[in-house]
Structure formats: C-alpha cells, structure tokens
Amino acid sequence: MRKLFDTGSSVTIEEFRLVRINGPYALLKLGPDFAMIKCGHFRIEAKGEELTVETLSEEVAVFTFASITALEIKEDGALPYA
C-alpha cells in the first residue's frame, strides 16, 4: 500500500554498525563489504566488515555490519532516482 503523503527519506546510523533508510531510496551498488544508496539529492556509501542486508523493500532498507569502517555522504547534483 502506498503512502498518502510523501514524507521524504530518513537515514539512521545505529551503534556504528547499522544503516537504516526509511522512505524513497535507490540502491546503486551492493558488494560484500559496502552499499551505495541514493536518497533524494544525496549519495550514501557505507563500508565495513561483514555486511548483512537485513531488509530490502520498496521504502525500507537495513544494512548491518560487524563494524562500519567508512561512511560518506555526498550531495549529488542529479535529480532524485534518475
């Protein structure tokens, strides 16, 4: 079921080992130790040890690492989800 109102996306980092995205996003790349995601006008790249994808649905993604070693958020000039 679709939402009635667009609330945008939120990104939460928990305990320096979990990245949770709620709302519209696009998964750009996924590897054994990294995930690259686009949320709105931002690109988020999380790298770490032992990546596990807990949830991957239309508007929710949860990536869990044994530990996050790098987290980068960049503004992307392209249109969202283009």
By CB atoms closer than 10 A (0-12, 13-18, 19+), residue 42 is middle
pLDDT at 4: 62
pLDDT at 55: 87
pLDDT at 1: 47
Residues in the chain with pLDDT < 70? 1-7, 78-82
pLDDT at 8: 74
Half-sphere CA count of 29, side-chain side, radius 13 A: 10
